[in-house]
Structure 1
Amino acid sequence: MPTALTAPAAGAVPPDASPDVTGSDAALRRYLHGLPGVDAVGLEARAATLGTRSIKTSAKAYALDLAISMIDLTTLEGADTPGKVRSLCAKGANPDPTDRTTPRVAAICVYPDMVPVAREALAGTGIAVASVATAFPAGRAGLEVKLADTREAVAAGADEIDMVIDRGAFLAGRYLQVYEEIRAVREACARPDGSAAHLKVIFENGELATYDNIRRASWLAMLAGAHFIKTSTGKVAVNATLPNTLLMLEAVRDFRAATGRQVGVKPAGGIRTTKDALKYLVVVNETAGEDWLTPEWFRFGASSLLNDLLMQRQKLRTGSYSGPDYVTVD
């Protein structure tokens, strides 16, 4: 029998956060609305303060390599071709042909039909193949369509699935529907050998509109068994921001304190420069802690960020700024 959730006291970490417990839609709603409200002014002020922190030259080389190793190098366009995907895979495996010490990216993220191409191109590299699914980016499809989308990607060899939640259902307060959909997609990530693709759950924060909604979505996804929570699809006007990523990092930190289970965070969309990436690393370190400063627990969803990181890395190594003509064009 499912266990009824107990709403947490204001300002407290929820005491009962097992990912296997849920009651009725009303009980889940009471639980999520019992989460402490977000102090928007305080959140944005803290994010702004952390964004001014500088990384000294002695640590910058390490930070640049860490950021590269955390990238989900992404192409999600209607004009994607096998050739474009193979080129992206080659770049992810060998980002700077002039310097073989450059780390590889964490994953290549593509549409489900391109998973076999990426899988073949990345064989032996150790780079994961990530695939969006569940009628990305809008998520406007029936559950069976979403599950078929997921199973197709997993069967083709995807190591990771990036799903989108039904924002309409969430905003209408149908939290149990969203919870059950995430659970169903996680089950669809299973493989015949007993292993499973990791599940990243995308909120589309720009459409959730409020920080309180982002906090509720974070806890809802983690309760449902997400391996990662992700800010956005990169397809709307407002994508990843320092404040909403900081809020999600607070959520995963508190969730681990309550349950013992660690969940990753992936900001995606709009992170294009080294300066921005380093700000995010500072926020990770200062909010969740060093345990999240690995590709296993923190990722950047990006397409253009890698080039700027490579140019900054070359500058650090050679003393001169090479410019965009010295890196490959995606």
Structure 2
Amino acid sequence: MAARNQGTEFDLGWLAKVRVNQPAVLRRAAQIQTQRAVKKDWQAAWLLRAVTCIDLTTLSGDDTPSNVCRLCSKAKHPIREDLLQAMNMHDKGITTAAVCVYPARVADAVKALKAAGCDIPVASVATGFPAGQTALKTRLEEIRLAVEDGAQEIDIVINRTLVLTGQWEGLYEEIRQCRQACGEAHMKTILGTGDLGSLTNVYKASLVAMMAGSDFIKTSTGKEAVNATFPVGLVMVRAIRDFYWRTGYKVGFKPAGGIRTAKDALNWLALMKEELGNEWLNPQLFRLGASTLLGDIEKQIYYHVTGRYAAYYDLPMA
């Protein structure tokens, strides 16, 4: 992982100066998505990079130890071995970046990954996911329990009420306490951008989360009506860039929710390259939160290698 963001003192003056030009954001977001796409070997290479940045996720009410174990196996072997051999990538150690589960399933994931002999980190959602509407004491205890069970990354969710009512210092203090509860575990802060009301609120919430010591900022829980959108992503990565210029801390970015196709993954990679540069094109500073994305990427890799589309039985399920 990248060096930890140590955070800064709360700076209300910085927030007061925030202005977001929405038409300009929409134009730039559209421009990045309509740029000429990479093709052939370059596309395959970008897709393999995307695989290494995926937090392979299961957050369902019917999660069991068995399907978490299957997910962990897929995380270790995300692309069929013969396909990697055909591209001479079989010895590059390609795995997903992490496995993301509910706190109750952390121990199952840790056990499965240990049995598989791999060091892929386990990430756990916490703090009253997805709404964040439980008492702070309960949310902090949930973090501690997930860390005790072996989670190396914690995806916290903010209380969106604090954003919508302008309680920025209260939001800062809550995230700061969450960071303390995480201990050595890296903290990703989910903003729930679909609930925040405006791009200005998205930018301000991003800044507050980084001031409070977040190692990553993340768009969505995947449970909102509107999840990761390109304009929101653009605003968040520009907040990351501004925070880096002012403090020297590199904070990661994780879009999540509704990212299902290989084309989606390529677009998000293009956003990172265009706005933050190559330094952010790695799993230490960029993650894709997804449950079905990997399947489509593997289909595109299959087509690249074989020249034909995969049947449903050609590729193992996650």
- Name the TM-score, length of structure 2 as normaliser: 0.92
Aligned pair 1:219/2:207, yes or no? yes
Look up the SS of the partner of 2:222 in the other structure. Answer: coil
Name which of 172, 178, 188 aligns with 1:185: 178
List per-residue Cα deviations over 1:255-313 (Å, max 9, x = no partner).
11111100000000000000111011111100111110001100000000000000101
Q: Which residue of structure 1 lines up, in the alignment, with residue 107 of structure 2? A: 116
CA offsets 1:13-64 (integer angstroms, 9 cap, x no match): xxxx983313xxxx62x431212x1111111111111111211323112101
| Equivalent residue pairs, number | 303
Query: Would the aligned equivalents of 1:311 and 1:323 in 2 still touch at CA under 8 Å?
Result: no
Among 44, 47, 51, which residue is 2:29 paired with? 47
Identity across matched positions, percent: 46
Residues 241-280 of structure 1 mapped to structure 2, 5 A cutoff = 241-280=229-268
Equivalent position of 2:281 in the other structure: 293
Q: In the alignment, is the contact (CA less than 8 A) between 2:240 and 2:251 conserved in 1? A: yes
Q: What does residue range 202-213 of structure 1 map to in structure 2 within 5 Å?
A: 202-213=190-201
- Match for residue 81 of structure 1? 64
Q: Is the 8 A contact 2:188 2:218 kept in 1?
A: yes
**Offset at residue 325 of structure 1 (A):** 3.2
* Alignment gaps of 5+ in structure 1: 1-16, 191-195
Report Cα offsets for 1:89-131 as digits up to 9, x if no partner: 1111112344352821000100111101100111231211000
Q: Secondary structure at the match of 2:313?
A: helix
1:130 paired residue number: 123
**CA RMSD for the aligned pairs?**
1.5
Contact 1:129–1:160 under 8 Å retained in 2 = yes
Which residue in the other structure is 2:87 paired with? none
Distance 2:246 2:152 in 1: 28
Q: CA contact under 8 A between 1:18 and 1:259: conserved in structure 2? A: no
Distance (whole Å) between structure 1 residues aligned to residue 201 and residue 271 of structure 2: 21
Structure 2 residues without counterparts, runs of 5 or longer: 85-89
Q: How does 1:295-310 map to 2 (within 5 A)?
A: 295-310=283-298
Opposite residue 149 of structure 1, the aligned amino acid is E
Task: Give the letter for the 1:92 counterpart.
Answer: A
Preserved CA contact (<8 Å) 1:186 1:226 = yes
Q: Which amino acid aligns with 1:246?
A: L
Distance in 2 between residues matched to 1:318 and 1:324, nearest whole Å:
15
Pair 1:104 & 2:95 matched: yes
1:248, distance to aligned residue in structure 2 (A): 0.9
Give, as a single letter, the amino acid of the residue that structure 1 aligns with 2:70.
Answer: S
Aligned partner of 2:20: which letter? V
Given that residues 245 and 267 in structure 1 are in contact (C-alpha distance below 8 angstroms), is that contact kept between their aligned partners in structure 2? yes
* Distance in 1 of aligned mates of 2:302 and 2:199: 38
User: Given that residues 6 and 213 in structure 2 are in contact (C-alpha distance below 8 angstroms), is that contact kept between their aligned partners in structure 1?
Assistant: no
- Matching residue's letter, 1:268: A
CA contact (8 A) 1:307 1:324 kept: no
